[in-house]
Amino acid sequence: MKNPETAGKSIPPEAIKQIKNILLIQYKPFGDVLLNTGYLPALRKRFPGARIDFLVQRPYLTLLKDNPNLDDLIIMEKRKGIQYYLERLRIIREVRKRKYDLIIDQLRGTGSAQITLFSGVSFRLGWRLKRWNWVYNYTVPREHIRYYGLMKFDLLKPLEITEDQTANLFYHVEADSFRYIGEWLRQNGLTGQKLVVISPGTPVRRKQWSLESFAQLSDLILTRTDFKVILLWGPGERGDVEFIAGKMSEKPIIAPPTTFNQAGALLKHAAMYIGNDGGINHLAVAMETPSIAIFGPTSNPKKWVAWHKPQHMYLRDWDFKDRKDNSFNISPEQVYGKLKEYFKL
C-alpha cells in the first residue's frame, strides 16, 4: 500500500469525480471531534452528491448529531481488554462493507491507521507523522502551532479544498434544550438581560484558573457593568460554583443542571463566555458567542482558540512556568480588561 510519490500531491481530477462514498475518522477526543465540523460545509460543497459518513465513539456522538453535512455516523464503542480488539474488528468489517472510495483520517493514531489499513479504500488521506505513513497514499504535514479548527482544512488539500477562515464550528442545539433554558431564564427574570456565562470547572485540574480568581472576576463584572453573571457547571462541578458564590460580595446566578446541549442553548443567550481551556470554549465558538479563554502553562491557546476571529480572545502569560500555581499569573483585572475592551465600556 506504500505510495510515497503521492505525498503532498492532489488526487487527479478525473479520480475525484469518481468519489461517491467518503468516511471521516476522528472518533476521539471531545474537542477534536467538534473541531472537525468547521470544514464539513467545504467538503460537502466539493462533493455535493457523495455520501459522507463519520466514525466516532459513542461518548462524542452528541457533537455530530443532526449535522446537515453528514449522512451517517458509524458508532464505535469504548471497550477494554479483549473486547477492545473485538470492537476494532467489528468496525473494520463495517467499514469494508460500506465500500468507501475515500478515507480522511483526521485522528491519525495507531487505531485509526489500522482501520484505514484494512479498509480496502482506494484513496487514503492522513497526516504525515513518524509512524504509519505507508498506510496512506496521500499525506500532508501537520502544522502544530495553529488553530486546529483551521489546520484540519490542510488534510483536504489533496482534494483541492482550501482553508476558509470564515468557517465556523457547527453544533445542533435541540428545541427541547432551548425550551428548558428559556423557561429557566424566564423564571429567574433573566429574559432579555445581558448575560456573561462563566464556567470555572474542568476535568483537568492543571488547566483550572483559581476559583478565588473567578470569584473576584465575577464581582468586578457585577459591580462595574450591567451584565448578569451566570455560573455554569457540569458533572462534579457544582461544588466549584458554590465555592465561588460563597467567596463573592455580589450575588451571581448559578445555572441549573445542564447537558452539553442545554449549555449550548444557554450560550446562545449569552453576550460573552469566560472559562478555562476546554470543550465549552469550542462550544462557544460553535454558538458564535464571544469568548475569553484563560490558559495556564500546560497548553497553547494558538492551537485551541479561534483567535483569527476577534470575538474569541485568550490570556496566557508565556513566561509563567509554575504548573502548581493556578493563578497562572493572570489577574481578574486583566480578564475584566479584555471584556471591557471588547464591549468598549
User: Is the pLDDT assigned to residue 1 strictly greater than 60?
Assistant: no
Over residues 45-61, the pLDDT tens digits come to 999 999 999 999 999 99
What domains appear along the chain, each with residue ranges and CATH number? 4-159 (3.40.50.2000), 175-343 (3.40.50.2000)
Question: Which pLDDT belongs to residue 297?
Answer: 97
> Strand pairing partners for 128?
141
* Chain centroid to CA 87: 25
pLDDT, tens digit, 9 for 90 and up, residues 10-36: 999 999 999 999 999 999 999 999 999
| pTM across the whole model | 0.93
Which residues on neighbouring strands pair with residue 21, listed in sequence order?
A: 51
Residue 44 and residue 53 in contact, taking contact as beta carbons nearer than 8 Å:
no
Contact present, 240 and 211 (Cβ < 8 Å): yes
Q: Pick the closest to residue 10 from 185, 161, 168 (CA basis).
A: 161
Mean pLDDT value across the chain: 96
